[in-house]
Structure 1
Amino acid sequence: MDNEELVLLAGATGYLGTYIAKELSERSMKTKIIARNTKKAMQFANNNTTVINAEITNTNTLKGLFEGITTVISTVGITRQKDGLTYMDVDYQANKNLLEEAKKAGVKKFIYVSVLNGKQHRNLKIIEAKEAFVDELIASGINYSIIRPNGFFSDMKDFLDMAKKGKVYLFGSGKKKINPIHGKDLAIACVDSINVSNEEINIGGPDILTQNEVAELALLASGKPINIIHIPHWIRKSILKILRTFTSSKTYGPLEFFLTLMAEDAIAPRYGSHRLVTFFQNEIDVLKK
């Protein structure tokens, strides 16, 4: 890795961003972290890492921050709309603000984290905004890496939350497969991609599991008997239709995303060493302390 690298990281206080901040620090890479909540981000400050207060939805707060930056890494996005901001305000426009400042400053590389199969799911509100930014990034002329994970271990906590109550609910047969990835492994791939040119990287974890198997792991970690309830897909489709008809995108956005992707395989090239079974057990152990 070039010792002259100066990385600007946006989104450091989120699940993945936290691991990327730690990975950059472990590699002793000079880093600027921009955050709205600097108090939360100060945990990453050290000799190589500076934390700067900025509001990425407000371009005035970004001016001058990109001087000398060679690489921008953005994990910026919202799962649930809040503070009156929409997916297009954050996942698209805020990232576009970063990209515009990067272009002005002559930044060499821009790394952005989207989602696996995003191009096929532009009809979903969350993904529509992410892929609109992907289009901007590809057209920008800046060397890019677009990282496309198929799901984080943190997303799998939904299975664990159900398991702790003794039942896991799945749509359909539960035979759809996924290989989610731990934030630590994904962070390594993101930082490594600094040396990659104009690529979209599909990535998942080492274990390809059916939803039934994920549910079983969650129940076993919780010390519960195997109790999986399978709900017919027609009910899932009905819920989707009702949500889209009678609620705003603020309400149905994350549910639409979840209900759609639960109905299909999400298998990506295997990467990393962290196992879901260990993650579940660690989560349970933390609760016991």
Structure 2
Amino acid sequence: MYIGALANGFIIHTPKVRIHRPNNNLLHSNFINQMQMKSNPYALPTKQRIKPFFFYASATPSSLETSKPSFRSKNPKDINILIVGSTGYIGNFVVKELVKRGFNVIAVAREKSGIRGKFSKEDALQQLNGAKVTFSDVTQLDSLEKTLNDLGVSIDVVVSCLASRNGGVKDSWLIDYEATKNSLIAGRNHGASHFVLLSAICVQKPLLEFQRAKLKFEAELIDSGLTYSIVRPTAFFKSLGGQVELVKTGKPYVMFGDGKLCACKPISEPDLASFIADCVMGEDKINQVLPIGGPGKALTPLEQGEMLFSLVGKEPKFIKVPIQIMDFAIGVLDFLVKIFPSLEDAAEFGKIGRYYAAESMLILDPETGEYNDEKTPSYGNDTLEEFFQRVLREGMAGQELGEQTIF
């Protein structure tokens, strides 16, 4: 999904991970179900006080894994991993990592993949080199079931990197919930005993439709009978690269408020793919919800901008946009959508931008209700500064920012 923050160029994806273990009762799906709106079985109540979702611990012990011999006793080449969302930005990295580790990877792709379907079947086959590529429609359970039946092999693990392409209301429920649920059902019907889900750290504070859709699926996965690893990453590197070229050409860096409204511990796509691959065999990641960020301290938009100006050797110049401008625009869109329902997605995009302009992509501390840098686990070696240096040399080719960007 490339919806991350519309502000500050967001699209909006080695050291040991530190897992914090608050009350396990928070993981029960009834806690999630309390948040669903009566008039819309998929939504949160608009007037109910939002409680953060603090899922860091094991819901059930790993001993609940099925009584049949674990796939983890097999050689990787004999482990069949079904990956859906394989042609997505993160999914593509995950396929490469799993292939590199020697697994038998079965990648499900659309016949027309990529942003606005710009890639053909031939492109997908080349992109997913090393995997067994099969084409199907994950939004249709019958289609996915038939595809797996035609393959004639059993599945050990499902890895889902599915995510809404734009964060729109209907697309969020179609992809983040329905299609992901289809992959769970089809995988389980073909023998899968473990499910690795790429989710998002922002579901801790669910105010947006894609967050609600992800949480609903997370709850059903936890109650599914399969073991699971739910990965909730912070911001992806590419979601922070939207202003690199502007700064390089002498333009000011644009940010909301004073540039300190939010912060994140961005993780590179290869590091995230490595962590997701760890979840396939890692027994310490069974039945865990795993927030994860990259190495180093959390960075605010102001610090990201200062880093960029330092790398290009220019005096920092900033444009500070009042966050209230977004509040006004959202208010107007919310009013208009009552008259013109077709504006529903436009209103949602405004809320997405507002969310990522003000909310940090860090752990929400259950004791203080504040975002906490130190409690956000770190993984990997790649740094944002190294990413900026590479983009300054090579540009953002191959890392398009998706359908919803502002600057």
TM-score normalised to structure 2 length: 0.65
Structure 2 SS opposite 1:87:
helix
Question: Do the aligned partners of residues 106 and 288 (structure 1) sit closer, same or farther apart at CA in structure 2, a change above 3 Å counting?
Answer: closer
Which residue pairs with 1:246 in the alignment? Answer: 336
Superimposed CA distance per residue, residues 252-286 of structure 1 (whole angstroms, 9 cap, x where no aligned partner): 33442232122133223111111111111211211
Structure 1 SS opposite 2:221:
helix
CA distance in 2, matches of 1:246, 1:162: 33
Of residues 16, 34, 38, the one that matches 2:90 is: 16
Question: Do the aligned partners of residues 125 and 221 (structure 1) sit closer, same or farther apart at CA in structure 2, a change above 3 Å counting?
Answer: farther
Shift of 1:224: 4.6
Structure 2 SS opposite 1:141:
coil
CA distance in 2, matches of 1:41, 1:75: 16
Higher relative contact order (CA 8 A, sep 6+): 2
Which residue pairs with 1:74 in the alignment? Answer: 160
CA distance in 1, matches of 2:335, 2:122: 40
Give yes or no for the alignment of 1:276 onto 2:384: yes
CA distance in 2, matches of 1:255, 1:19: 29
More strand by share: 1
Structure 1: gaps (5+ residues): none
Q: Is the 8 A contact 1:19 1:183 kept in 2?
A: yes
Q: Give the aligned residue type for 1:260.
A: Y
Question: Do the aligned partners of residues 119 and 10 (structure 1) sit closer, same or farther apart at CA in structure 2, a change above 3 Å counting?
Answer: same
Q: Is the 8 A contact 2:84 2:109 kept in 1?
A: yes
Q: Is the 8 A contact 2:167 2:209 kept in 1?
A: no
CA distance in 2, matches of 1:55, 1:91: 14
Question: Do the aligned partners of residues 192 and 171 (structure 1) sit closer, same or farther apart at CA in structure 2, a change above 3 Å counting?
Answer: same
Superimposed CA distance per residue, residues 173-228 of structure 1 (whole angstroms, 9 cap, x where no aligned partner): 21232111111000000010112211100001113212101122234445653111
Question: Identity, % of aligned pairs?
Answer: 29
Q: Is the 8 A contact 2:202 2:211 kept in 1?
A: no
Structure 2 SS opposite 1:256:
helix
Of residues 223, 228, 233, the one that matches 1:144 is: 228
Structure 1 SS opposite 2:358:
coil
Q: Is the 8 A contact 2:236 2:269 kept in 1?
A: yes
CA distance in 2, matches of 1:150, 1:240: 25
Which residue pairs with 1:39 in the alignment? Answer: 122
Which residue pairs with 2:20 in the alignment? Answer: none
Which residue pairs with 1:108 in the alignment? Answer: 193
Q: Give the alignment of 1:1-289 within 5 angstroms.
A: 2-3=74-75, 4-37=78-111, 38-46=121-129, 49-64=131-146, 65=148, 67-80=153-166, 86-121=171-206, 123-160=207-244, 162-164=246-248, 166-175=251-260, 176-194=262-280, 195=282, 196-207=285-296, 208-221=298-311, 224-246=314-336, 248-267=343-362, 268-287=376-395
Shift of 1:118: 0.3
Question: Do the aligned partners of residues 30 and 14 (structure 1) sit closer, same or farther apart at CA in structure 2, a change above 3 Å counting?
Answer: same
Question: Do the aligned partners of residues 11 and 40 (structure 1) sit closer, same or farther apart at CA in structure 2, a change above 3 Å counting?
Answer: farther
Shift of 1:129: 1.5
Question: Do the aligned partners of residues 222 and 279 (structure 1) sit closer, same or farther apart at CA in structure 2, a change above 3 Å counting?
Answer: same
Question: Do the aligned partners of residues 137 and 188 (structure 1) sit closer, same or farther apart at CA in structure 2, a change above 3 Å counting?
Answer: same
Structure 1 SS opposite 2:179:
helix
Superimposed CA distance per residue, residues 129-158 of structure 1 (whole angstroms, 9 cap, x where no aligned partner): 221211221121111111101111111123
Shift of 1:160: 2.5
Number of equivalenced pairs: 286
Structure 2 SS opposite 1:60:
helix
CA distance in 2, matches of 1:272, 1:249: 39
Q: Give the aligned residue type for 2:239.
A: D
Which residue pairs with 2:405 in the alignment? Answer: none
Q: Is the 8 A contact 2:85 2:162 kept in 1?
A: yes
Q: Give the aligned residue type for 1:286.
A: E
Q: Is the 8 A contact 2:248 2:392 kept in 1?
A: no
Structure 1 SS opposite 2:316:
coil
Q: Is the 8 A contact 2:246 2:253 kept in 1?
A: yes
Per mean C-alpha deviation after superposition, the further-off stretch among 215-224 and 12-21 is 215-224
CA distance in 2, matches of 1:284, 1:136: 43
Which has the higher Rg, Structure 1 or Structure 2?
Answer: 2
Question: Do the aligned partners of residues 288 and 236 (structure 1) sit closer, same or farther apart at CA in structure 2, a change above 3 Å counting?
Answer: closer
CA distance in 1, matches of 2:160, 2:275: 14
Q: Is the 8 A contact 1:57 1:89 kept in 2?
A: yes
Structure 1 SS opposite 2:395:
helix
Structure 1 SS opposite 2:205:
helix
Q: What do you get for the CA RMSD once the two structures are aligned? A: 2.4
Q: Is the 8 A contact 2:167 2:210 kept in 1?
A: no
